Structure 1
Amino acid sequence: MPTLRVVMAEKTPDHYFEEMDEFLHANIGQTLPGHEVELAEPKSEDKAELLELLKDADFLVLGGAGQRRPIDRETFEGAPKIRFLQKLGTRHHQIDVDGATSLGLPVIVEPAPSHFGVAEHAFAMLLALSKRLFEADRRVKDGYYEKLGIEPVKTTPTEYHYNYTGVEGIGSVYGKTLGIIGLGDTGAELAKRAKGFGMRTIYYTRHPASADEEREFGCTYAPLETVFRESDFLSLHASHTAETQDMVNAETLALMKPTAYLVNTARGGLVDEEALYDALKGGRLAGAALDVFKWEPTPKDTPLLGLPNVIASPHIAVGSLPIPGRFQGTLDNVARAVKGEKLVGVINGLETARTVG
């Protein structure tokens, strides 16, 4: 029985690899009867390890949980048997598309529901901060109007009580500046949503977008310090590396406006939580919305959780996505490659899988 070898371009979180491995093994028989599948990934950032895996690989998949490793012509030349390369996510700046094309290798991009989910969650948090939604919710449920001496009235077209719990500082995102650190797939999706709300978006990333992408996303590149200084809302979408560890710290927080808000749906390690607590407690930052923390589950005595200007969620930004929603597109294209059918999502004009051997 032939075995199809699928290689992830870099190490993914253990749970992600296990879920994809289980999905492929459970569904390969129905999708491609008479075939087996083997999934592998490098355990380090050593390129030589990836090249060793690719010697006998049939398919290369990128972007399982972010994509930091550039995929260049040398990588393709070291993978003589791969039939196509598939990126989970639509940004492909890490891929040498011209190099792949010159070697007859199809490059596929696939919109990933997880990226939409994180972008939506980040924007929901941004709106909740601006509109003081959680404070308003608590005050309504606690009957805070009684402390203000307001009596309930039956509403009519002309009689009602506006803001009867006295929530202050309710804002609007229209015309405000959104700063994005890390313009990968989720950062790009967030920029698109901000564009629809009339926001000005600036971003910092290691690999700036092209002029066409910036027009599509509605954002403009700026130096990192400028992003900290000018943002009314700062949203983190960078990978957690030694370089980005605690990138939001006392020094960078001091650059921000005291009226600004921080949103983090990326990784908890990007933020120095003690410095963030001090800035929020001292009125040097207006608020923060955090889906990720240094420790998870987040201990209930974490100081940040005791602040009224902090919104927290338990690392759920990606949403409750069914596993097939994440991996079915890859398996379907594997089947198309084996059957000689047209691939779906090709961006370099090579619509059928490369013939090898």
Structure 2
Amino acid sequence: MYSRHIRSVVPTTAEPGVFTNVCINLSNTICIRTASLNYQWCGWCVNEGYLEAHYAQRASAMAPLPEDDGLKPGDQQAWTSEQRYALTRHVDERARDAVEAYTTLPEDTDLLDKQRGRYAALKAARDRALVFILAYTAVRVGELLRDPNDPRRRGVRWEDLSLDDGSMDVYRKKQQWDAASLPDPVISPLRSYRQLMDLPTERWPVFPTFDQRTLAGLVQDELEERGERPEAITERREEYARDLLLALDEDIRPPSITTDGARSILQRLSETAEIDIDHPKHDYLAPHGGRRGMGEVLVRAFRYTVAARYLDNSEEMVRERYSHIEAGELGDVATEALEEIDSLTELD
């Protein structure tokens, strides 16, 4: 009986994303027994050859659900125009200052000091590019950066970006690759950052980790695998102010930062930018707030259909999550109607 019901909802030839959508639709009423039956049914389909993989065993399916924080749609953090401007201006100034300090060093500057200047410029340029993408693209941070629990989410690479076309290929929440838009404000920070990186290959992550412990272990292990002696590795590393610069020269590709790493970066930048933040859950500009902020801009300017396309969401979902905007607009309409009626009454 149960398998006949599921077959009527999801054909055995369905793509993985279909299962995600069905689960979302059932999420309000599903119980433990139903979830167990769903899991067992996926296993049966694999055994019978209907499915190539057990989709219910994937990391994205087994990840914990977000906690209910009790916040209504309009209470979720969304970067305001003032906050967006303050943060992007702050990181832009930091990056410009760091790049200028590096590129204007005297020719006789010590090599290690030059490397320190380049490293500082790279870090500031990376942070600027990250903030601009979160502020203007509305891409989910989980689609942009690495998820340690899901090998498919390895973080965007430079080969995934087309700055000339203004697009970026990302692995969407619906578990398929899709193109996201890169609006004009994002292009210049990315171009400047890429030029400064002087990449050995396009397969490098756009947002590599700068964690020294991670990079030290990575460089050590990779050079050992290439046959370098321990003494030679030590001497090689001592030639560089930071292991990241050695990794660039030797094409030792580091991992992308994680979503937790992005939160730490934004916490640091929100503090140094001295941005006024009044929110019950976050005392900094959180990554998802950039997406929601762009959603508010798009809904107010172009309404729900256009916003849904840009946000990679259904129009129904966008209407639900931004219902406070329509409610406020309807309140304005009601106020205007009352004022008009009252003025007519006074004339009578």
| Larger RCO (CA within 8 A; separation ≥ 6) | 2
Q: Which is strand-richer, 1 or 2?
A: 1
- With the shorter chain as reference, the TM-score category is under 0.3
**TM-score, structure 2 length as denominator?**
0.24
**TM-score, structure 1 length as denominator?**
0.24
- Who wins on radius of gyration, i.e. which is larger? 2
